[in-house]
Amino acid sequence: MNIGYILSEPVNPNGTSGASVHVSKIIEGLRNKGHKVNLFSHNYNFDGVSNSNSGVNGFSFKNLFKNSVKKIVPRGIVRPFKNYLKYRRNMRMLNGWENGLKSCDLIYERDGVYCFKSQKLAEKYDLPYIIECNGFFWEEQMFDGLAFKKLYKRRHVQKWKSADHLIAVSGEFKKKMVGLGIDEGKVSVLHNGVEMDVYEVPSKKITDLRNSFGFSENNVVIGFIGHILPWHRLDILVEGIAQLNKGGYPVKGLIVGGGKLDKVFNEVDRLGLKENIVFTGAVPQNQVPVHIKAMDICTIPGSSSYNSPVKLFNYGAAGRPVLATNRSSITEIIDDGRNGLLFYKESQSSFNEQLEELLKDQVLRKELGKNIRSDIEKHHTWNDVVDRTEKILESSVKHK
């Protein structure tokens, strides 16, 4: 198949976020199966290499102007204007790629905000149209800049209804889609995945990394990995480590990833934990396995009710015990007490209680780690995800 892959959001296929990993693994997997995958995006060419010269990492008069406007113009005026610019930018991008898209066998879109031109092109050239859905943008914190949310919601749901097939990242996500009037029969659930063999890390490499962070053999390392956002609730993790330290337990924290960390740093300072928690910042994808293997207990303190966190599958592939919030999408993977432990969402006391149980019981930690690794290897590798994606695409082409 000749696949037109539309990526309108600023996701770098070579990046370290969960979204980046998902994009790169789907493209790589389909290409390895002999399909041609053309990446149509703002900032990356067909091989996922940045060709943007936006200057976002340094000074620019454009950014200075934007920041000045934010301070002067009321937010109620700025929001619709910014939304229009995003809509126009996506439309211009796809207008520019139209000749390339019309020669494809199908359009596969990673859903994006204000990207509606893809629907028009699919209809214009009678191409099968598949959307990989990852968020309800009108109700998410990171898209708080959306104006006229009710109107936007109506338009976006109409886009979903026009697609030949939809891929949801969790069963809970599909349930919410069906509640919006989407035909249940055209929605498939595909959780995220993981590559198992990269987690076969030599023990010396793990020991060396732990030593470089100042962890001793007696330390139990409690960790988190991911691009950090407010709803990840790292405050719960930090407070839990503080309480264990007060109880005399030899615990250390390892937080791997970039993102919005100011509040987390402030909390660490307030609790006097600078010497107890290591922050690495973002690490390259090939360094993720050894960093997770350096942890003794892995955590997911917070998540949305419908996301499929890549970190959960990474933790499982590493054979590490997982303590996670009991959000619906998490419970689709974690069977409490068998392949992980769950705590009541946003409950500090529940988190502390479960964390202390893991800390005290090394046999339980090994059993949970063994079971989740087995489950992930059987059902949630990237090969599995790509195989199922391929079947969906082939069926869509066949029945168009």
| pLDDT tens profile 340-398 | 999 998 899 999 999 999 999 999 999 999 999 999 999 999 999 999 999 999 999 98
Give dist(CA 149, CA 140) in Å, integer: 11
Q: Is the pLDDT of residue 100 over 60?
A: yes
Q: How confident is the model at residue 254 (pLDDT cuts 50, 70, 90)?
A: very high
217-249 per-position pLDDT tens digit: 999 999 999 888 888 999 999 999 999 999 989
Give dist(CA 270, CA 152) in Å, integer: 41
Residues 6 or more apart whose CB falls under 8 angstroms from that of 335 comprise none
Contact 393, 130 (CB under 8 A): yes
Given this structure, which CATH class describes domain 2-193+382-399? alpha beta
> Strand, coil or helix: what is 189?
strand
72-87 per-position pLDDT tens digit: 555 556 778 888 888 8
Exposure string (b/e) for 223-237, b if CB count within 10 Å is 16 or more?
Answer: bbbbbbeeebbbbbb
Contact 168, 187 (CB under 8 A): yes
Q: What is the model's pLDDT at position 144?
A: 54
Start-end of CATH 3.40.50.2000 domains in the chain: 2-193+382-399, 197-379
Contact 231, 352 (CB under 8 A): no
The CATH architecture assigned to 197-379 reads: 3-Layer(aba) Sandwich (3.40)
Rg (CA), the chain: 22
Residue 15, both tokens: 């990046």
Residue 70 amino acid letter: K
Residue 316, both tokens: 């499982």
The answer to pTM > 0.95 is no
Contact 271, 198 (CB under 8 A): no
